[in-house]
Amino acid sequence: MTDNSEITRNGLWSNNVALVQLLGLCPLLAVTSTVVNGIGLGIATLITLVLSNTIVSLIREFVRKEVRLPVFVLIIASLVTIIELAMKALFYDLYLVLGIFIPLIVTNCAIIGRAEGFASRNPVGPAALDGLMMGMGFLVVLALLGGLREIIGFGTLFANAELMFGDGAQRLTITLNPDYGGFLLAVLPPGAFFGLALLIVTKNWIDLRPVEKPETATPVAEGV
């Protein structure tokens, strides 16, 4: 179970935070209107996950079982505060775009879930790796969903990249079709649900393919 390739596979695919555990949906659905927003929040969550898993694993011998959850929350909250202040200092524009969702990383169930379910029972190495892989899995889904919604909604990709990578990144922005009027539904909240459902369908379809005929979308979509 704690073997490294197993942890990697779990985090990225078979136990993916967003596609399988369906955790952290609030930020996932709210900020993924563009790739850059998705990646920005994804990286912030990733850092939080790695650090919180590491610290929780380090102190797991010293914390009494009865008070472990408050302690975990304190650790996560401190880490998120650090990250929030760092983002405010380094990527101020991105910080303004993501707004309330950075402090809300504290409440992301994925983080406390990994702290409680994995880091508090495993040594530091696997715990940190688990945080990294779970965070990567989350980050990839955020970026994919952001890309999907941005392409359909605005017809662009990597818009506002300068928020994260500095002014030189402005030419990263790809406009697929200058005449594209935009499909607002994809950018509005329903688009996030449809997009996530499509990603989950795709994942399940890939999983089921070699075994049997692919299922229809309905039972999967209900999981959202």
Partner 1 sequence: MIQVIIALLPGTVAYAWFFGPGPIVNIGLAIVFALAFEAAVLKLRAKPVMPHLTDFSAVVAAWLFALCLPMHAPWWLVALGIGFAMIAGKHLYGGLGFNPFNPAMVGYVALLISFPREMTTWYLPGAVSGQTLSLAESIAYSFGSVDIGQWDALSSATPLDQVKTGIGQGIPIDEIRQAPLFGEYGGRGWEWIALWWFVGGIYLLISKTIRWHIPLSLLTAVMSMALIFYLIDPAVYASPSFHLLSGAVVIGAFFIATDPVSAATTDLGRIYYGLMIGCLIYVIRVWGGYPDGIAFAVLLANMCVPLIDYYTQPRVYGQK
Minimum CB–partner distance for residue 218 and partner 1 (Å): 6
Q: Which is nearer to partner 1, 22 or 221 (CB)?
A: 221
What's the CA angle centered on 127, arms 123 and 132, to 5 degrees?
155
Give me the DSSP letters along 54-87. HHHHHTTTTS-GGGHHHHHHHHHHHHHHHHHHHH
Q: Could you give the string, one character per residue 205-224, with x where binding to partner 1 holds by CB under 8 A and - elsewhere?
A: -----------xxx--x---
Closest Cα partner for 193 from 75, 32, 6? 32
The reply to whether 188 sits near partner 1 by the rule CB under 8 A is: yes
5 binds partner 1 (CB under 8 A): no
Nearer to partner 1 by C-beta: 20 or 217? 217
Q: Exposure string (b/e) for 171-181, b if CB count within 10 Å is 16 or more? A: ebeeeeeeeee
**Taking CB under 8 A as the rule, which mask of x and - marks residues 134-173 in contact with partner 1?**
----------------------------------------
For the bound state, the minimum distance from the C-beta of residue 189 to partner 1, rounded and expressed in Å, comes to: 11
The three-class DSSP label of residue 174 is strand
Least separation in angstroms between CB 216 and partner 1: 6
Distance CA 114, CA 68 (A): 13
Question: Which part of the chain contacts partner 1 (CB under 8 A), choosing from 23-31, 91-99, 133-141, 177-185?
Answer: 177-185
Angle at 106 between CA 103 and CA 110, to 5 degrees: 130
Q: Does residue 185 belong to the site contacting partner 1 (CB under 8 A)?
A: yes
**C-beta closer to partner 1: residue 186 or 200:** 186
Residue 10 DSSP one-character state: I
Positions in the binding site for partner 1 (CB under 8 A):
181, 183-186, 188, 194, 216-218, 221
